[in-house]
Amino acid sequence: MKTVSFTKMVGAGNDFVVVDYRSSHAGYGSLSKAARFLCERRNGVGADGVLVLERSKKAYFKMRIFNADGSEAEMCGNGLRCAALYAAKKRTLKIETMAGVYEAEIRGKDKVRIKMGEPGDISRDLRIKVNKRDIRVDYIDAGVPHTVIFVEGIDGIDVDSIGRNIRYHGRFRPRGTNVDFVEIVDDKNIKMRTYERGVEGETLACGTGAVASAIVSNVKCQVSSVKSGIKVHTRGGILRVYFRKSKGKIKDLYLEGEARRVYNGEVLYV
CB 114 within 8 A of CB 79: no
Q: Mean per-residue pLDDT for 63-77?
A: 96
With b for 16 or more beta-carbon neighbours within 10 A and e for fewer, the 244-253 pattern comes to eeeeeebeeb
Say whether 37 sits in a helix, a strand or coil: helix
Query: In whole angstroms, what is the distance from residue 241 CA to residue 70 CA?
Result: 29
- Check if 82 is active-site: no
CB 221 within 8 A of CB 91: no
Say whether 31 sits in a helix, a strand or coil: helix
Q: How confident is the model at residue 228 (pLDDT cuts 50, 70, 90)?
A: confident
Residue 83: pLDDT over 90: yes
Query: In whole angstroms, what is the distance from residue 203 CA to residue 189 CA?
Result: 20
The predicted-structure confidence for 162-215, as pLDDT tens digits, reads as follows 999 999 999 999 999 999 999 999 999 999 999 999 999 999 999 999 999 999
Length of the chain: 270
CB 191 within 8 A of CB 182: yes
Q: Mean per-residue pLDDT for 148-168?
A: 97
Question: What angle in degrees, to the nearest 10, is found between the helix axes of 77-87 and 207-221?
Answer: 130
Task: Assess whether the region 2-117+259-269 and the region 123-256 belong to the same CATH fold.
Answer: yes
Residue 88: pLDDT over 80: yes
pLDDT at 28: 61
Secondary-structure class of domain 123-256 per CATH: alpha beta
pTM: 0.93
- Check if 76 is active-site: yes
Q: Mean per-residue pLDDT for 13-36?
A: 86
Q: What residue spans define the domains of the chain? A: 2-117+259-269, 123-256
pLDDT at 193: 98
Of 50, 5, 4, 57, residue with least CA distance to 31 = 50
pLDDT at 219: 92
Query: In whole angstroms, what is the distance from residue 46 CA to residue 93 CA?
Result: 28
CB 261 within 8 A of CB 85: yes
CB 1 within 8 A of CB 268: yes
Query: In whole angstroms, what is the distance from residue 137 CA to residue 169 CA?
Result: 12
Q: How confident is the model at residue 26 (pLDDT cuts 50, 70, 90)?
A: low
In CATH, what number does 2-117+259-269 get? 3.10.310.10
Q: Which of 39, 82, 206, 221 is catalytic?
A: 206
Q: How confident is the model at residue 122 (pLDDT cuts 50, 70, 90)?
A: confident
CB 159 within 8 A of CB 195: yes
pLDDT at 159: 97
Share of the chain above pLDDT 90, in %: 84
Q: Where are the alpha helices (DSSP H) in 150-251?
A: 159-167, 207-221
Mean pLDDT for the chain overall: 93
